[in-house]
Structure formats: structure tokens, C-alpha cells
Structure 1
Amino acid sequence: CGLSSNCPKDHFPVRMYTGKKNTELPKICFKGRYVVAQDLNDAGRGVIVVVVNIESGAILNVKRFDTYENSAKLVNLLKLVSSSEFIIAIAHDEAQTALSDEAKNILTSFGSSFISKLGFRDVWVFVGKPNLSGFSPYEDVRNC
């Protein structure tokens, strides 16, 4: 998906594009293939989560949660992520309106340092895992 170099053996290549406002849909490329894009795995408004097995790199789940309306289903998925898995997450269009404190707390425990600062229509990318000590180096948030 356009990465210019190969990753070391114990790493997985990830490329995330948050889209633009509500006019361009987000994309997530993992290990050289898109797993989220237009007409692929419901790319759209809210938080998109890809759950990956740490050892094999197998994608276990890909879901979009419209957190403009509610984040209960996002919380349910995050609670199921085990210590042998990690998540790739992206916020598109508007993700924070109904993002609950419980969802923010879980994502913070996965290593997010920016989720509690997410503002209206901000874009956010994140890679983390349950019970990460410290913060993930793979996170960014931008105001739109």
C-alpha cells in the first residue's frame, strides 16, 4: 500500500489515512493489503478498530463504531481484546460526541495518551494493546 521500505521480521507494516472531514473515507492498510477503505469493512464516521493477533499478524476483527451516537458496542469489543492481541484504531469525521468515559479509559489502558483530548471532528490514529505500560509511540491526533 505504498510503504517505501520493508519492516523487520518482528514488526507489521501499517498505513493509516484518516480521510478528510466527511468527504473522503478513511483507509487502513495492514501487511500490504487494505482492510478498511471505501466499500471495504464499512469505512465511515466514528471509530474503526482492527484487532490483530500479536504473534501471527492475523486479523481477527474489523469493526466501525458510530461514536457520534453511542460507544457501548465499541466498549464491548475493547473488553474482548486479549493480551495476545493489539488494535489499530482510527477516528474519522466525528468520533468524540458520544465517546464514553469508559471507552476512553479502556483506550488509555491500551496506551493512548490522546483519546481524552479528542475534539469535535479531530482525526486520531492509534496502535495499542491491553495493559500497555506507558503510552504507545504509535498515536497521533490532529485538529481539523
Structure 2
Amino acid sequence: MAAGSCSPEASGSVPIGPYPRSDWMSGTRGGRDRRADWLLGAGSGRGQSRKGRTQRGAAAAGAAPGGAWAEGCGCRPPSVSPPLSVSSGSLVGSCCASPAPPPALQRLLLSRPEAPPTAAPRPPRFKCGLPRPCPPAHFAFRLVSGAANVIGPKICLEDRVLMSSVKNNVGRGLNIALVNGVNGELIAARAFDMWAGDVEELLKFLRPLHEGTLVLVASYDDPATKLTEESRRLFGELGSAVAMDLAFRDSWVFLGAKGVQERSPFEQHVRNSRGSNKYEGWPEALELEGCVPRRAPDPP
């Protein structure tokens, strides 16, 4: 074909119109909607033939079908609409039709959606939130002391919360849970106010313990002001190395048992010290976790 020709074959069948890809017209699809009528310059003549609309659109544009808008099919003036022709049922521009979408956009539109990222597997969870399971014939436990006088303590054994603020059974002073050392069943759980309470209630709670009973303790606010020599000695008999020196607003967590012959390895203590306190007037909260051996059942 001669240079400067602007027929559809020369310029290519390029979709036209500032519409999303879904509205780009190919073949006869969409050839009779209102956008096609507007592009053809047919106005409101929706009931007339496509041939008539095409001819009037070409005449209104001031150019014969196939004519060039600029030398060598250059860009048309922005204020003038291009002439159109119908070829093989496809609506195409005769000269400077809108360019095809950029290659990057084509790849985006034609590419398959990527599979959603796979969520990272959750770490395994063990009883009472321990980082690993306990060996056979052991109880998993976690003790958390109170934080200042704001956040209450928590006592967990074998994934069962025995005492907590949520259960509404904790209070200022010493929070103590008694557990059967053979089967892990809860025997009793109470809070004893060591600031304004009666220490005799604590003594009545600790004196009648049976051999092998586990004693789990978590402090809250002040654990020591009302402690007597006898109450401190009873905690020492349960395996505590700290009870004799426990003082006002110290933080303390402890797990012991009735009848032990040695000091318990499950005990933590932080003194109330103005120079090192984490909170104003209180030391940091303590957290102690581990696995305590079950007591073998008594022979029949």
C-alpha cells in the first residue's frame, strides 16, 4: 500500500475509546450500545441502520473513509474526532486510533492472579503456655505474681487456671492454691490479706496439710506485713528459702509441697527497693513456670 495511506489495514485494528479493557470493542460485541452510537456520530438515531450511521459519521467529520488527518497518519488535532469505518463487523479507527495499553499493563491484565501467601504455621502450644511439654509423670505449672496493686496474680496447673482476676478469686497479700500431688486435683484456693487481714486464717489453712500436697503461692501488693514467725516457718517446711526474709511489698512466687526434705527449686523473689523498683513503690512482677513431679500413689 502507498505511503501515507490511512486505511484500517495500514494502521491496524486498534481498539478505540477511553474505556476500560472490558469495554474495548472487538468483532460485533458491544457494537450497538450507546458508546458505539456516539463514536459513530449517530446522535440519537438508534433505530437506523449501521451503514447509514457510519456514512453520516464520516461526513460530519469532514473526511472520506480512509482519509488521513495529517501527513503520514500523524496525530489528529485534539479537538477533532477521527473518522471511523466498519470492517468485517469490527469497529476500528481509520488512522490515529488510541494506542494499545502499555506492555506492563497488558501483562498485568492477562496474568493469572498470584496465589495468596501462605500463613506462617502457629507455634505449638503446651499446657499453661510452657515452651515445651513436660515429661511423663509431671505437672505443668505457671505462677505469675501481681504487678504493683493493679494487675492481679495468676496460678495455672495442667492448663487449668486455678486463681486469677478473671476467676475473681485473687486478692491483696498471699494467693495460695492447694493441689493433690498424686492426681493434680484442686483442694482449695484462697487469698489472704497480709496488710489488714488476720494471719490466723492463714495458719488454719496451712497447718492441716497432708503429706504430698502441692502448695502454689503468688504474691500481690503486700505479702508480708502480717506474717508471723510460725507462718514463716510453715512456708519453710514446704521448701521455701525466702519466707523468713519476706518483707513489705516484695514480689514472691513459690511452689512447694508438704513433706519435702530439701529446698524447692521453684521459687523467685524480688525485694521492694526504691532504687530498683520497676513501678513506683513496687518491684517488678515475677513469672515462674516449669514441671513438677507427681507424687506416687500410696501402696494399698
- Scaled by the length of structure 1, what TM-score is found? 0.94
Query: Which protein is bigger by CA-based radius of gyration?
Result: 2
Cα distance change of structure 1 residues 41 and 51 upon mapping to structure 2, 3 Å threshold = farther
1:25 aligns with 2:152: yes
Q: Which structure's residues are more often helix, by fraction? A: 2
Paired positions, count: 144
| Matched-pair identity in % | 30
Over aligned residues, Cα RMSD in angstroms? 1.2
| Whole-angstrom distance in 2 between the partners of 1:118 and 1:26 | 17
Q: Which structure's residues are more often strand, by fraction? A: 1
Task: Describe how 1:1-144 pairs up with structure 2 within 5 A.
Answer: 1-69=128-196, 70-143=198-271, 144=283
Q: Residue 102 of structure 1: CA displacement?
A: 0.8
Greater relative contact order structure (CA < 8 Å, 6+ sep): 1
- Scaled by the length of structure 2, what TM-score is found? 0.46
Unaligned runs of 5+ in 1: none
Unaligned runs of 5+ in 2: 1-127, 272-282, 284-300
Q: State the AA in 1 paired with 2:179.
A: V
Do 1:110 and 1:129's aligned partners in 2 also have CA atoms closer than 8 Å?
Answer: yes
Do 2:146 and 2:219's aligned partners in 1 also have CA atoms closer than 8 Å?
Answer: no
Q: State the AA in 2 paired with 1:37.
A: S
Superimposed CA distance per residue, residues 9-65 of structure 1 (whole angstroms, 9 cap, x where no aligned partner): 221111111121101111111111211111415212111111111110111111111
Do 1:41 and 1:62's aligned partners in 2 also have CA atoms closer than 8 Å?
Answer: no
| Whole-angstrom distance in 1 between the partners of 2:214 and 2:142 | 15
| Whole-angstrom distance in 2 between the partners of 1:55 and 1:38 | 27
Q: Residue 68 of structure 1: CA displacement?
A: 1.4
| Aligned partner of residue 207 in structure 2, secondary structure | helix
| Aligned partner of residue 13 in structure 1, secondary structure | strand
